[in-house]
Structure formats: structure tokens, C-alpha cells
Structure 1
Amino acid sequence: MDRSTARYMVMILGILLSLFFSTTFAQSSCANYNFASNKVFSSCSDLPYLDSYLHWTYNPSSQSLQIAFRKTGMSSSRWAAWAINPISQGMVGSQALVAFQKSDGTVRAYTSPITSYQTGLQEGDLSFPVSDLSATYSNNEIIIFATLKLQINSSSTLNQVWQEGPLSNDNPGMHTTSGPNVQSMGTLNLLSGESKATSGASNSKTKYKNVHGVLNAVGWGILMPLGAIIARYMKVFPSADPAWFYLHITCQSSAYILGVAGFGTGLHLGSQSPGVTYTVHRGIAIALFSLGLLQLSALLMRPKKDHKWRTYWNFYHYSFGYGILILGIINIFKGLDILSPEKKWKHAYIGILVSLACLAVILEVITWCIVLRRKKSANANKLSHGLNGTNGVNGVNGYGA
């Protein structure tokens, strides 16, 4: 029965991990995005910088371009813009669509021709007609909608620029002049959907973010709780000793290694985004890194079961362990709020947490049933030995005391 239960545990956990990875890597950053307004676009592109995405529908015969520019990870104190540069690559000469949330809660969207690097994004007419211009802001994401009437060359390729920056009294301020803010430009083929950054860079930052999220979710959010489940419930089976201990150590060590790798990619992303700081998310990540290191260090100081300090070591180990579990899960949801991926990502992770919780509840019931049955059996054996002994009554009373 013990081995059978252990096999079922491994099978269930394997299914959960398979579900996570299949859901995670099947997602696309823009292709599966559903607009609240039920608008549908024929093409989309994950822009390589500034957490931005472009959706569009292009009609070659009329040269009409319907677009939706999405900028995620936005706060209400920042502006976002997407532009076409009809004359060259770069900022000067760009014909921009600008949007931001005003201090009264309304969202303003307007056009602004860029004539110099010192622009204040003043409102003005563009070199081509623009209609149906609007914008929305919710869940730290701003979306600009518009229809453009263009005069594009036969290759259907245009120069695009996208940007974000701070607000001051409902007026756009100067954006950062280093890092992704000066790399957020490139070409876009409206027919093939091919998007290239001017620098020739690929979507490396988006990939780093995906890697960062997956490493932390698997490490802190799945393997760490799984290791705790193994330690609590597998050791109730005598045949699982000491296998449960080595599984627990392997699981927790792997979780920490993945978590540290995720921590490293987070530091790299931070170095690529000057001026962008997520204080709470970063603080929890540092705490997890430190607590995890202390937990691994505690393994070297683990006293024997009969040692007088073992009780204190257990308290230390359990306290830090449960603290890591709670902080890890909290920080994963913080990261999801920052990245603002499709809802399916968050739903998949919530489903995994619920599955692990249900597994823990089932194993908790099984564990208590086994413990109570063993206690009842032990009591019966002691009672039997006491009654069969020379002083049966004293034996019973002695056990009861």
C-alpha cells in the first residue's frame, strides 16, 4: 500500500508539471490576446522593447491601416506613444499617436508630429489622415486604437517608433535617453508581419522575461511546495525512509537553483530598464534568495534526531520553509501583475496551486488515518501486554498516565 501511494503521488505530480509546461509554452504574447471591445486584427507583433505589442489590419487596396498599440506594465503617471516615420528611421520626423491617463481618471489620446529631440509631444496634425483615435487604460495596460490612411511604397514596409515616459501635471515629460528607450524603433512589413528592430536585435528582452517568469514559477511556485509536500507526507510510510529525505532535498535544491537563475535574469532585466523599479517585487526576491540560502546552509548543521538541539533546529527549518513558500507564491503573483501576460498564464498557475492544495488535503487525511490507526494498534498492544502480564491493572494505568 505504501509503495502504491508513493507511485500515485509521483504520477499526479508529473501530470501537474506537464500541464504547466504545455500551457506555458503554448502561449503567445500577442496572438491569443482578446480585446475587451471584441475587436479583431489580422496580424500582430511582439515589439522587442518596452513591453509593447502592435496589432493591425491592413487593406492594401485602400492603404487603410487599423492599429491597436498595447503598452503593458504602465502606471497612471506615465504616457505611451506609437509612431510612423514616413521619411527615415528614428524619432525626428515621426508621426505619433500619444495616450495617457489624466489626473481626473479620463484617458486622453491625440496626435503629435515630432520635429525635434526636445519635443514636449505637443498636439498637432499628422502628415496623413487619422480617424477613430481612442485609448483605454486598465490593469496597468494602455491601448491606443486608430485608423490611418497611408501612402506606403510597394513593399508595404514602414518605419515605426514606440515610446513611453513620465507625466508631470498631465503633460508628457522627456523619456529616458538610454537602454530600451533609445532602441525602440524598427521596420514593420504590414503584409508579411515581419518586424525588425533598427539595431537588428531580436525579441531578446521578451525572451528574458519569459525565462525569468518560468524559472521563478517552476522553482519557487511549484518545486518548493512540492518538496514540502514530500517531506510532510511521504515520511509517514516506513518504506519511504530515507528516500523521502533525498527526494525532499533534491526538490528543494532544484527549486532554489531555478529560483537563483530567475533572480539573475531579473537583475539582467533591471539593468536593461533604467528608471523602472518594482520595489516590492525586488524586495521579496532578495528575501527569498537570502532565506533559501539559509535553508540550504541549515542542512549542514542538521543535528541528529535525538540531539537536544533538534527541536530548535526543527522550529528554525519549518519557520523559514513556510515563510519561503508564502513569499514565493506572493512574488509570483506580483510578477504576473507586472508582466501583465494573458489571463491564461495566471489561470494555469492558479490551477496548479489548487491541484497541489487538493493533493495536500488528500494526503493530510490519509496521513491522519494512518497515524490514528497506528496509535490505536499501539494502544491495543500495550493493553494486551498489560493484561497478560503479572500486574495487568497497573500496566493499563501506567500507560494511561
Structure 2
Amino acid sequence: MHISCKQLVCIYMVASYVSLPFIQCSSLKDVNHFGNHKANKVSSEKTISDIELHGLLLWASMGLLMPLGILTIRISRREDPGSTRSRVLFYLHVTFQVLSVLLATIGAAMSLKNFENSFDNSHQRLGLALYGAILIQALIGFFRPQRGKKERTFWYFFHWILGTTVSFVGIINIYTGLKSYHKRTLKGTTLWNIIFTAQVSCIALIYLFQDKFEYIKKQRVIPGTESIVPSDHDIPQRQNQKELLPVVACGKKNALGNLFD
């Protein structure tokens, strides 16, 4: 069958018109797939950055500032009550703890706003319990009874137990957070675990041995052989005592006199 050029042109135009919708749908599908992939990638990167910021905030709060606050208040026990060093250490303790609560609050707010909180894992459950305990501990610290009152003993015991427990569980929760971060992002956390372990170990060693330094130094001295060095305050006092002593005339004595003496 002979087909003229005019008929070929008509067939080509009809075929192009029929296939045009399919070509457009295919191209739109590819564009939409590429756009969704790009949007998902951006959203995933933002989620990872939010998780990292959340982890750094809680690391600074529970892993650094709170242990430092406990360490400073323990060191202050060696100082005289009411002395300048004692007051400075106490205010450092308060500053560290207040900053710890503020950073923990920001981290908790980020978690509630940006993350899926189904509370079906140990990290989220511990985090929720820790945040409530931190707020209770802060309230207990602000309502501190004065020294000499009967309630002071109970307050001190509860404040000490709760603070130590919160700090210890908070350190454990940082490790669980690093584990969750590795599961979520498939990024390595070995280096962060090593750094955090070294930091916590240093603080724990100082906490355990800070009140033993003086005792360790005394191990080099044999009891009863300590040389007492007079202070600057004692020297003028002894000189005044020497001036007040009566002067006794001493005569010469021979050997016979010494025998009878």
C-alpha cells in the first residue's frame, strides 16, 4: 500500500498528540520523585543536627555542670564555715546547678518539639524521669533551712541522696543517648564514648580523693617527729614574753659549789 508524504505527516502528528500525556506524566513523576527525595534529605539532615544539639546540651548539663556542682560543694566542706573560700565555693555550686537546670530545660523542650516521643525506649523514659527529678532538686535547693534547725538534717540527707542519684543516672542516660544516636544515624560514637568516660573518670577521682590529699601528704612524716614552725604571729608574742622575764644575776660558781648545788 502506497502512503504519501502527507499521510505520513498526519500519522506522525496524531501519534505525537496521543503519546504527549504519557510523556508529560512520566516527566512530572520524575520531577516529583526528585523533589520529594531532596526534601526528605533536608528534613533528615535537620533532624540529625537537632539530635546532636540536644545531645550536646544534655552532655553539658548532666555530664559536666552537675558533677562539677557536686564537686565544688564537697570541696567547700574542708573550709571554715562562713569563710570567703567557703562562700565562693557555695556560689559556684549554685551557679553550676542553675546552668545545668537551664540547659536541661532547653534540651527537654527541643526533644518534645522536634522528636517523636513515644517513650518506648529506656533513653526517653530515663530522660523524662530525670527532668522531673532535676526540677524537684532545684526547688529543694532554694528552700534550704537555716543551720541549727531540726529540718536541716532531713533536708541535707534528701538533697544529697537525690542530687547524687540524679547525677549518676544522668551519666548513664548520656551513654544510652549515644547508643540511640548511633542507631538513628549509623554514625560511630566510639570516640565520644571514650572522651566522656575520660571526663567522668577525672571528676570521679577528684571527688573521691580531694579530702585525702592532706592525709596522703602526712604519710611521709613519722608521728612525734613533726617540727613545729612558729608562725609570724607567735614570734612577736614570744619576744614580749622574754622582755617581761625578771633579770637574775648569775654569779660564778666553783666545782665545790656545783657539787653541793
Query: Taking structure 1 as the reference length, what is the TM-score of the superposition?
Result: 0.42
In the alignment, is the contact (CA less than 8 A) between 1:302 and 1:313 conserved in 2?
yes
Q: 2:105 maps to what in 1?
A: 260
In the alignment, is the contact (CA less than 8 A) between 2:141 and 2:159 conserved in 1?
no
In the alignment, is the contact (CA less than 8 A) between 2:145 and 2:151 conserved in 1?
yes
Is the helix fraction higher in 1 or 2? 2
Picking from 189, 195, 208, the partner of 1:348 is 195
Output the CA distance in 2 between the equivalents of 1:244 and 1:205.
Answer: 39
Matched, 1:240 2:182: no
Output the CA distance in 2 between the equivalents of 1:223 and 1:332.
Answer: 14
Matched positions, count: 186
Query: Secondary structure of the residue that 1:88 maps to in structure 2?
Result: helix
Picking from 42, 45, 48, the partner of 1:206 is 48
Q: 1:364 maps to what in 2?
A: 211
Amino acid of the structure 2 residue aligned with 1:269:
N
Output the CA distance in 2 between the equivalents of 1:310 and 1:226.
Answer: 23
Q: 2:30 maps to what in 1?
A: 88
Deviation track 1:272-306 (CA, whole Å, cap 9, x = no partner) reads x47x6543212211211111111111123211111
Output the CA distance in 1 between the equivalents of 2:147 and 2:73.
Answer: 15
In the alignment, is the contact (CA less than 8 A) between 1:229 and 1:360 conserved in 2?
yes
Matched, 1:324 2:169: no
Deviation track 1:226-284 (CA, whole Å, cap 9, x = no partner) reads 110101013312341211111101001111111111111111232xx47x654321221
Q: 2:175 maps to what in 1?
A: 333
Distance 1:200 1:89, change over 3 A: farther
Output the CA distance in 2 between the equivalents of 1:354 and 1:213.
Answer: 20
Picking from 309, 327, 343, the partner of 2:151 is 309
Amino acid of the structure 2 residue aligned with 1:304:
Q
Output the CA distance in 1 between the equivalents of 2:63 and 2:72.
Answer: 15
Query: Secondary structure of the residue that 2:212 maps to in structure 1?
Result: helix
In the alignment, is the contact (CA less than 8 A) between 2:144 and 2:155 conserved in 1?
yes
Distance 1:367 1:221, change over 3 A: farther
Output the CA distance in 2 between the equivalents of 1:367 and 1:283.
Answer: 43
In the alignment, is the contact (CA less than 8 A) between 2:119 and 2:125 conserved in 1?
no
- CA-atom RMSD, angstroms? 3.1
Is the strand fraction higher in 1 or 2? 1
Amino acid of the structure 2 residue aligned with 1:293:
L
Distance 1:282 1:201, change over 3 A: closer
Deviation track 1:43-64 (CA, whole Å, cap 9, x = no partner) reads xxxxxxxxxxxxxxxxxxxxxx
In the alignment, is the contact (CA less than 8 A) between 2:73 and 2:93 conserved in 1?
yes
In the alignment, is the contact (CA less than 8 A) between 1:236 and 1:367 conserved in 2?
no
Which entry has the higher C-alpha Rg, 1 or 2?
2
Deviation track 1:156-209 (CA, whole Å, cap 9, x = no partner) reads xxx49xxxxxxxxxxxxxxxxxxxxxx6x22xxxxxxxxxx3686583212111
Q: Which one has more relative contact order, counting CA pairs under 8 Å at least 6 apart? A: 2
Distance 1:278 1:311, change over 3 A: same
Output the CA distance in 2 between the equivalents of 1:198 and 1:288.
Answer: 33
CA displacement at 1:313 relative to structure 2: 0.4
Amino acid of the structure 1 residue aligned with 2:206:
L
Amino acid of the structure 2 residue aligned with 1:302:
R
Query: Secondary structure of the residue that 1:307 maps to in structure 2?
Result: coil
Q: Which consecutive residues of structure 1, in runs of 5 or more, have no partner in the other structure?
A: 1-84, 92-158, 161-182, 187-196, 371-375, 377-401
